[in-house]
Chain A
Amino acid sequence: MVYFPSLGSYNDRDGINVEAFISLAPCRRETVFFTMAEPFIKVENLFYSYEVPSMEPIPALVDISLRIMPGEFLAIVGHNGSGKSTLAKCISGLLTPTQGQVSVLGLNTRQPANQRQIRAAVGLVLQNPDNQFVAAVVEEEVAFGAENLGIPQDSLRRRVDQALLDTGLQQERYANPHNLSAGLKSRLAIAGILAIAPQCLILDESTALLDPLSRASLLLMLHELHRSGLAIVTITHYMDEVIDTDRVIVLDAGKLVIEGSPRQVFQQEARLREIGLDLPPVGQIARGLRTRGLDIGYPLTVEELIQAHQEHKYD
């Protein structure tokens, strides 16, 4: 958030009340959380290969082990084809591992009987919203997932209203999804998942097709959702989206190569350069200043850079 200092309000659109949004936060999710010590998703020695007729299977994920805690904000970064989307699909139970185990809330994704519960707990939002819409009206599109779960009508109505409020789409309730702007389409895709009331939201490059302002406002929305207790896993190429997360994992050619807090990850500059990933802009400036011999540490945001400046001044 710090990275967009000029974006004063939560949203660039009218009619969205940020205060109302935050005050609703504690009572809105119909979820019971596990104790903090218990990982919510466990990935153990996961291998996944795509089967291609008359060819060797193509390995997409190689020996990945990972734990995701309830309420965590995790970022997965890596190049196109590094296996990010495949990992997301494995975690949400849409793909079954070739080898190894994935379990959600202690339920193994291999068991077909667990599918429904797993998908209801882990909501995956795919990249291109255009190909995901089933309904001709926004509110029915939002309801689709919850309808599948057999949620009774009055509770369904509440969930849809809440999801529309969470994503700032109340005004578009009766619109045709197809006619929305790109930014609103992404929000709608997320609203459709929120109505399922998952404990974890996985976003597969949801910001990749958006302009910078829509992207920034979507990110603010994600942080609000996170604050309300939702675990979020975001897949992205944009390094500036990673700074505010709890933890980052870097994938390269299907392997998990770096893992840690954003700070820890961005300190491994040589490693990142090897993979061909850049630092966020402030990090790049700081790196340049360090190579000139200035001891300013590893700031990633403008605030941290200012702080580094002030500490330097009073040394």
Chain B
Amino acid sequence: MASLEGLRHVSIGQYLPTGSFVHRLDARLKLAACVALLAALLLARGYLVNIALLIAIIGLVTAARLPLSYLLASLKPALPFIVILTVMQLLFYGRGTGGSAVWVEWGSLVISAEGVQLVVVSLIRFIGLLLCVSLLTNTTTSSALTHGVEWWLRPLTAIGLPGHELALVLAIALRFLPILGEELEAIGQAQASRTITTGTVSRWHFMAGARRIANLIVPLFVSTLRRADELALAMQARCYQGGKGRTQLNPSNWRTADTFAALVAVAVLAVVIILRHFPIP
């Protein structure tokens, strides 16, 4: 049942103060840089650029003094799905378009160089995406995050959309992810403690794991709604009436380091876009 404990381990949405310089960067910059990095990941072609990007992201994680293994462990609950998807994609991708080399052919199952590249690149993108978002939430308090998102949504607010509300919803949703992870673990344990089907550890570990998680969704949904209800009440009790006229305990202040980081992010994105036009493996 060690895997149940894994459910609690959601690093996206946690906040882990280590006092690094990444933590001190302005939330607006971190949001934009995160989006830029995600865009770069999606636009990058070929092995080399993707791997370079992943290394850069890992570098940032290290600079933020966040243990890499801790961020990656979030993948554990999703592992069964990832493995299944990867294998399917690998087997059923086919020959591809460019007439790339075929490595294995067995009946209608074809593993081509292009298929392998697609799978590997997808995995890198997925891991990069997870690291980027975890990096953002682990180094930014929810209040700073709310204000950051709110700032970027200002154009929307100008045309009458509820920018602050959207920002707060996003920040709270992120913050609740680890709590939901714990809740999922507790519900899973409750089911497990009453599950008495004979047998030792299932050989079909992955499939069983996937099915078990599906079984947890309904109770999780109900409990989430109840929590949301109580949270709304607690916010009302603390005079929350939307973003209008709110002040801030720790207002953000933009420093030179932020400008510098912004330039680096823009440069990375630009380089990735330019490299798209060159044939790099």
Do the two chains bind?
A: yes
0 or 1 for each of B240-255: is its CB under 8 Å from A? (1 = yes): 1100011111110000
| Chain A interface size, under 10 / 10 to 19 / 20 to 34 / 35 or more | 35 or more
A131-B231 in contact given A94-B236, A119-B239 (Cβ < 8 Å): yes
B122 CB–A CB distance under 8 Å: no
Q: Which of B172, B175, B227 is the most central at the interface, judged by chain A CB atoms within 10 Å of its CB?
A: B175
A137-B15 in contact given A145-B238, A148-B240 (Cβ < 8 Å): yes
A263 CB–B CB distance under 8 Å: no
Instruction: Specify which chain B residues have a CB less than 8 angstroms from the CB of A174 in the assembled complex.
Output: 17
Among B178, B247, B249, B251, point to the contact of A139 (Cβ < 8 A).
B249
- State whether B17 touches A148 (Cβ < 8 A): no
- State whether A196 touches B245 (Cβ < 8 A): no
A312 CB–B CB distance under 8 Å: no
Among B15, B237, B241, B247, point to the contact of A156 (Cβ < 8 A).
B247
Closest to A140 in B: B143
Please provide the chain A residues from 116 to 170 with a CB less than 8 Å away from any CB of chain B in the complex. Answer: 116, 119-120, 123-126, 128, 130-132, 134-137, 139-140, 143-153, 156-157, 160
0 or 1 for each of A94-120: is its CB under 8 Å from B? (1 = yes): 100000000000000000000110011
A92 CB–B CB distance under 8 Å: yes
Whole-angstrom CA separation of A119 from B248 in the bound complex: 19
B179 CB–A CB distance under 8 Å: yes
A147-B175 in contact given A119-B237, A132-B230, A137-B143 (Cβ < 8 Å): no
Whole-angstrom CA separation of A144 from B146 in the bound complex: 12
Closest to A145 in B: B238
Number of A-B contacts (CB under 8 A): 99
0 or 1 for each of A156-200: is its CB under 8 Å from B? (1 = yes): 110010000000000000101010000000000000110010000
- State whether B238 touches A148 (Cβ < 8 A): yes
B78 CB–A CB distance under 8 Å: no
Whole-angstrom CA separation of A136 from B172 in the bound complex: 10
B89 CB–A CB distance under 8 Å: no
- State whether B237 touches A178 (Cβ < 8 A): no
Instruction: Specify which chain B residues have a CB less than 8 angstroms from the CB of A139 in the assembled complex.
Output: 249
Closest to B168 in A: A134
0 or 1 for each of B1-27: is its CB under 8 Å from A? (1 = yes): 000000000000001010000000000
- State whether B231 touches A150 (Cβ < 8 A): no
Whole-angstrom CA separation of A137 from B141 in the bound complex: 7
Among A94, A140, A144, point to the contact of B250 (Cβ < 8 A).
A140
B266 CB–A CB distance under 8 Å: no
A126-B238 in contact given A135-B142, A150-B247, A153-B248 (Cβ < 8 Å): no
0 or 1 for each of B64-85: is its CB under 8 Å from A? (1 = yes): 0000000000000000000000
A176-B15 in contact given A116-B239, A126-B233 (Cβ < 8 Å): yes
Instruction: Specify which chain A residues have a CB less than 8 angstroms from the CB of B143 in the assembled complex.
Output: 135-137, 140, 143-144
- State whether B241 touches A153 (Cβ < 8 A): no
Instruction: Specify which chain B residues have a CB less than 8 angstroms from the CB of A125 in the assembled complex.
Output: 237
- State whether B251 touches A148 (Cβ < 8 A): no
Instruction: Specify which chain B residues have a CB less than 8 angstroms from the CB of A119 in the assembled complex.
Output: 236-239
Among B142, B172, B239, point to the contact of A145 (Cβ < 8 A).
B239
Instruction: Specify which chain B residues have a CB less than 8 angstroms from the CB of A135 in the assembled complex.
Output: 141-143, 175
- State whether A152 touches B247 (Cβ < 8 A): yes
| Chain B interface size, under 10 / 10 to 19 / 20 to 34 / 35 or more | 20 to 34
Whole-angstrom CA separation of A143 from B251 in the bound complex: 12
A136-B247 in contact given A116-B241, A119-B237, A131-B231 (Cβ < 8 Å): no
Whole-angstrom CA separation of A131 from B230 in the bound complex: 6
Instruction: Specify which chain A residues have a CB less than 8 angstroms from the CB of B248 in the assembled complex.
Output: 147, 153
A123-B237 in contact given A131-B227, A140-B142 (Cβ < 8 Å): yes
Whole-angstrom CA separation of A116 from B245 in the bound complex: 12
- State whether B246 touches A94 (Cβ < 8 A): no
Whole-angstrom CA separation of A147 from B250 in the bound complex: 10
Instruction: Specify which chain B residues have a CB less than 8 angstroms from the CB of A153 in the assembled complex.
Output: 247-249, 251
Among B141, B231, B233, point to the contact of A140 (Cβ < 8 A).
B141
Whole-angstrom CA separation of A50 from B157 in the bound complex: 36
B235 CB–A CB distance under 8 Å: yes
Closest to B182 in A: A178
Closest to A120 in B: B239
Instruction: Specify which chain A residues have a CB less than 8 angstroms from the CB of B264 in the assembled complex.
Output: none
Instruction: Specify which chain A residues have a CB less than 8 angstroms from the CB of B17 in the assembled complex.
Output: 137, 174, 176
Q: Which of A115, A130, A132, A151 is the most central at the interface, judged by chain B CB atoms within 10 Å of its CB?
A: A132
B166 CB–A CB distance under 8 Å: no
The smallest C-beta distance from B84 to any residue of chain A, in angstroms, reads 32
The smallest C-beta distance from A208 to any residue of chain B, in angstroms, reads 15
Q: Which of B17, B234, B235, B248 is the most central at the interface, judged by chain A CB atoms within 10 Å of its CB?
A: B234
Instruction: Specify which chain B residues have a CB less than 8 angstroms from the CB of A143 in the assembled complex.
Output: 143, 249
- State whether A150 touches B245 (Cβ < 8 A): yes
The smallest C-beta distance from A114 to any residue of chain B, in angstroms, reads 12
- 11 contacts across the A-B interface (CB closer than 8 A): A116-B239, A119-B237, A131-B234, A134-B231, A134-B234, A135-B142, A136-B15, A143-B143, A144-B240, A145-B239, A150-B246
Known: A119-B237, A143-B143, A147-B247. 16 other contacts (CB 8 A): A89-B233, A94-B237, A119-B238, A134-B142, A134-B234, A140-B141, A140-B142, A140-B250, A145-B238, A145-B239, A148-B240, A148-B246, A160-B249, A192-B238, A193-B238, A196-B238
Instruction: Please list the residues of chain B having a beta carbon within 8 angstroms of any beta carbon in chain A.
Output: 15, 17, 141-143, 172, 175, 178-179, 226-227, 230-231, 233-241, 245-251
